[in-house]
Chain A
Amino acid sequence: MKFLYHLGQYITFIRKAFCKPEKMKVYSKEMILEFEKLGLNSIMLVVIISFFIGAVLTLQTAYNMQSPLLPRYLIGYLTRETMLLEFSSTIVSLILAGKIGSNIASEIGSMRITEQIEALEVMGVNSVAYLVGPKILAALVINPVLYVFSVFIGILGGIISGIISGVVNFEDFIYGLHFSFNPYYVTYSIVKTLFFAFIFTSIPAFYGYYVQGGAREVGKAGTKAVVDSSIAILTVNLILTQIML
């Protein structure tokens, strides 16, 4: 019963987030700020994680392919497949759910307990549309971009670690990258990033918006937002994979 109540509340909340803005210019300005907060501030984290995971994937694949019957280009092929299909979409989104999700929940939660949301409402502003709408839209635009960025950086990490460690040469790795490439995998992963972006912005915003109490409750909402966003991402990942592949 409680779950259904919260689900209904969440659906109403999302509907409010996409109501017609009071003034488009003000909302556009907010969206640009969100691009910076959600996107640009996450690039460095995505670069570091993707580079090292790409590098480690190459070394681990090589370690598990000791048989001379297996061609070396498979190292590049498997690194590409892992980055393209799962890591850069799902794992990066899970990491962003931790970073961005807790940030959104605590930001909106703090606004709730310091009456800033009431101040918006009393001015006649749709506080959900003003605070949440730009965040969701900005994440929907920026997450696919971060995905593409992550794939390239991960593969670059793989090439560098493969060559430096001598487990694969440049030509074999590049051949592996081109081998049996299916462009539909990119479409599939980009669709996933759109769903994940929606999840890791809307769920934390929902928890932050309905916080009651003080700083302790804001902290709890942040934790709950990250946990629930992560579970939702993993569940949606499973469903989309079953449907799309």
Chain B
Amino acid sequence: MIRVEALSKSFDQKMVLSDIQVTFETGKVNLIIGKSGSGKTVLLKSLIGLNPIEEGHIYYGDRDLTIMDASQMKCLRQEIGVVFQGGALFDSQTVLENVMFPLNLFTELSEREKRERAVFCLHRVDLHDAENLFPSEISGGMKKRVAIARAIVMNPKFLFCDEPNSGLDPLTSIVIDNLIYEITHEYGMTTVVNTHDMNSVFEIGEKIVFIHEGRKEWEGNKEMIAHTENKYLNDFIFSSKLFKKIKEEL
């Protein structure tokens, strides 16, 4: 479980996040949704320690990230897997080398064991026969899968995904969403997904947090979101004609 208390963050005296209070639950897919520029990515990067925060606390279980020293932070980082928006795969390494990278640095496994673990993770994300390809030789959807495989290779307790569906077609988006959902339940991880994809909201949103202009505006799940009275959330979710029509039929 990750608990955020009174988190605030500003850039050049401009408040980007203000007094965020939220709990991300273990074994569930927790979604952070909101318009572009609402502060979702800043919140996600604050959660993983890439953005230092000015006020508030972030608890991983009972460990407060905001007061951790370098060695405690290093231990925590090995419990975290992150899927970045563009995949952030290392261009100079093959798919297999990318997935093996954390194992090479942080484990004492033999070369054969590392290879087996990396291949297992690649197969888990339905990637076969792509081990020796370079990131420039694979599609966007495959890159996201490799990024997921790399994120789970160390058996993390916490998985963070920054807009995993961006740039993907609807079919591939659903495949990636389902993969995240399955992996979360299979490994009992605390998963936090940053998205503005409405299909993801209705497919995998076990817990949803809506951020509007740097503030937490709403919190609930995919069943509750369809009947919300919150104006900002309604404007955001049902902005397209298709979703407006769906809402009318609900």
* A interface residues with partner B (beta carbon < 8 Å): 22-23, 25-26, 110-111, 114-116, 118-119, 121-125
Contact of B80 among A22, A26, A118, A122 (CB under 8 A): A122
A118 in contact with B88 given A123-B77, A124-B74, A124-B77 (CB within 8 Å):
yes
A115 engages B106 (CB within 8 Å): no
Is there contact, CB below 8 Å, between B74 and A115?
no
Which A residues lie within 8 Å of B73 (CB)? 124
Residues in A neighbouring B80, C-beta threshold 8 A: 122
The reply to whether B106 and A119 form a contact with Cβ atoms under 8 Å apart is no
Complex Cα distance, B85 from A118, in Å, reads 11
Q: Are A122 and B77 within 8 A (Cβ)? A: yes
B contacts with A, residue count (CB < 8 A): 22
Inter-subunit contact B88/A115 (CB<8 Å): yes
Question: Which residues of chain B are near A23, meaning CB under 8 Å?
Answer: 104-106
Q: A124-B74, A124-B77 are in contact. Are A118 and B84 (CB under 8 A)?
A: yes
Is B220 among interface residues, defined by CB-CB distance under 8 A? no
Give the contacting residue for A115; candidates B78, B86, B102; CB below 8 A.
B86
Q: Which residues of A contact B90 (CB under 8 A)?
A: 111, 116, 119
Q: Is the CB of B88 within 8 A of A116?
A: yes
**Min CB gap B126→A, angstroms:** 22
Whole-angstrom distance between the Cβ of B153 and the nearest chain A Cβ = 10
Minimum distance in angstroms from B214 CB to a CB of chain A: 21
> Are the C-beta atoms of B84 and A123 separated by less than 8 Å?
no
User: How far is A25 from B109 in the complex, measured between Cα atoms in Å?
Assistant: 13
Instruction: Determine if B48 is an interface residue (Cβ-Cβ < 8 Å).
Output: yes
Q: Is the CB of A122 within 8 A of B48?
A: yes
**Any chain A CB within 8 A of the CB of B250?**
no
**CB<8 Å pairs between A and B, sample of 24:** A22-B105, A22-B106, A23-B104, A25-B104, A111-B91, A114-B86, A114-B91, A115-B84, A116-B89, A116-B90, A116-B91, A118-B84, A119-B82, A119-B84, A119-B88, A119-B90, A122-B49, A122-B77, A122-B82, A123-B78, A123-B101, A123-B105, A124-B78, A125-B105
**How far is B135's CA from A110's CA once the two chains are assembled, in angstroms?**
14
Closest A-B pairs by Cβ, 7 of them: A124-B77, A119-B88, A115-B88, A115-B84, A124-B74, A122-B82, A22-B105
Is A114 touching B105 in the complex (CB atoms < 8 A)?
no
Question: What is the chain B residue whose CB lies nearest that of A25?
Answer: B104
In the complex, A224→B106 CA distance in Å? 36
- B31-56 vs A, CB cutoff 8 Å, 1 = contact: the mask equals 00000000000000100111000000
How close is B113's CB to chain A, nearest CB, in angstroms? 15
Q: Which residue of B lies closest to A130 (CB)?
A: B105
Bound-complex Cα distance A96 to B49 (A): 37
Distance from B144 Cβ to chain A, minimum over Cβ atoms (Å)? 13
Give the residues from 48 to 77 in chain B that come closer than 8 angstroms, CB to CB, to chain A.
48-50, 73-74, 77
When the two chains form their complex, are residues B104 and A26 in contact, meaning their CB atoms are under 8 A apart? yes
B84 partner residues in chain A, CB cutoff 8 A? 115, 118-119
A26 to B101, CA, bound (A): 9
CA distance A123 to B73 in the complex (A): 10
With A114-B86, A116-B91 given, can you name 19 additional A-B contacts, CB distance below 8 Å?
A22-B105, A114-B91, A115-B85, A116-B88, A116-B90, A118-B45, A118-B88, A119-B82, A119-B84, A119-B90, A121-B50, A122-B49, A122-B82, A123-B77, A123-B101, A123-B106, A124-B73, A124-B74, A124-B106
